[in-house]
Structure 1
């Protein structure tokens, strides 16, 4: 089990491959080169942020924490909302000016069901810097000073970075979903878990033949619960509350609001809450 706490993790540099300003705080990362590589981060989105309509060759889940986050024309994630952005599915364009205020969102980007994996943020930044010698990033588009071998001058920024990193053209899976899936999590009802006093859960959704799943767990003060082991990797993100992992002894690991936890396949986590706790759990694709 690996833990990371937002309050002790610094913000990273402002990135400029999309339009406007957005800052990231990376809490957890996976293993580069693995089909299940991932990044769990907090995104501080400035009102200036914009991004053209695009798609990914990986999966993404967003969880709105504070303020509204624009994900398309007249479409915002409100606090408590989740959205699943499947690989190969177009979304956007994004324009935070529609909201007019900054927002804070938890984002998990991870290798999707196709097994294409996920380019790490370090790999992204290294290759973006290399591309700046041959072109400019403007509004989410990479504009080459001279045409590429296939004649293209303008290309989606992430596509250009991925192709420079991989040394081959990007390939997108045929979309399993025709649109990003937007959930109003506060409107789901908590269901008590039998045999676990003071513990409840919300099943949000399961996706694809690879078993991607999102659900929430709630612990009342003093309640204990063991997050069950799964055949695939899982991540837990604490929205609110405090408590301790382990058997309750002094050598356990505490959680707070915006603590993130990585559990490998076959790994469980004993939890005891000290205050009312609500957390999101994401199960990665089974490979």
Structure 2
């Protein structure tokens, strides 16, 4: 494994967010800045004051709802255990949080090869744009000389500022986000790995982003493909790079890897797009 991170070794961060409300998170895994396949994985904590207008992105997202509800208005409500795929170019929301929510959020460059703006660049863009305007409830506002404000989606404003060009959204391949209920899917034994069962949640876009939930018996060995992210829901075990446990995150890197389960384990596996 190229990266193995245990949540117990990290500190939670509270940071400025382009949307409204308190936002705390654990930064987990990240890809290579400036590449079409760049990504950022975080464990996000949001609260009842969170406020995000209906918007879209030029990158893909996968969300795993761990605790609490996340309400996306007309698109539906993500409840604990659900997995969501939010395709590039597709509008979603507005989003609100009825109470408190813990969500695994993966943002990554999609099939259009538009890439993904790194977290460090995004935060720098917010700080620089605050010199000429304000961020309010997911909208960037700049005062106009004649009165009133010029309003723009917050992420869009930051992206255009950092890239110094207009953000052109890719044509949407889907009509809306895809919400999945893994609990309703059947476990299918993996014919190539003893003690491993899979719930295939879908393969998305022509770049083959593949989502699965896996169950490993104690003692099972799981082959992990290249360019794949794994998040452990429960259980513990080891790789050649170190031990993992519940809420650990792993990234295989450019080559294949493997995980050994010391106890019964369930995990989410995300095979990133082939770009």
- Give 5+ residue unaligned stretches, structure 2: none
Deviation at 1:74, TM superposition (A): 7.8
Q: Give 1:153's aligned residue.
A: 150
1:239 to 233, 243, 246: 233
Q: Deviations over 1:76-112 (max 9, x none)?
A: 211110000000000000121xx2x101000000011
Deviation at 1:262, TM superposition (A): 1.1
Q: Give 2:125's aligned residue.
A: 127
Deviation at 1:73, TM superposition (A): 4.5
Q: Describe the SS at the equivalent of 2:13.
A: coil
Q: Is contact 1:234-1:263 (8 Å) kept?
A: yes
C-alpha distance in 2, partners of 1:221/1:59?
34
Deviation at 1:196, TM superposition (A): 2.9
The TM-score with structure 2 as length reference comes to: 0.94
Q: Give 2:102's aligned residue.
A: 104
Q: Is contact 1:73-1:94 (8 Å) kept?
A: no
Deviation at 1:127, TM superposition (A): 0.7
Q: Is contact 2:182-2:213 (8 Å) kept?
A: no
Residues 103-112 or 208-217, more deviating: 208-217
1:254 matched to 2:248? The reply is no
Q: Describe the SS at the equivalent of 1:282.
A: strand
Deviation at 1:126, TM superposition (A): 0.3
Q: Describe the SS at the equivalent of 1:54.
A: coil
1:188 matched to 2:176? The reply is no
Deviation at 1:280, TM superposition (A): 1.0
Q: Deviations over 1:105-129 (max 9, x none)?
A: 0000001111010001110000110
Q: Give 1:249's aligned residue.
A: none
Tell me how large the CA RMSD over aligned residues is: 1.6
Q: Is contact 1:91-1:179 (8 Å) kept?
A: yes
Alignment of 1:208-287 (within 5 A): 208-227=205-224, 229-230=225-226, 233-246=227-240, 252-265=241-254, 267-287=255-275
Q: Is contact 2:75-2:92 (8 Å) kept?
A: no
Deviation at 1:71, TM superposition (A): 2.4
Deviation at 1:220, TM superposition (A): 1.1
- Give 5+ residue unaligned stretches, structure 1: 247-251
Distance 1:26 1:276, change over 3 A: same
Q: Is contact 1:212-1:283 (8 Å) kept?
A: yes
Q: Deviations over 1:191-250 (max 9, x none)?
A: 1112533211111000111111111221111222322x34xx21111111101113xxxx
Number of residue equivalences? 272
Deviation at 1:161, TM superposition (A): 0.4
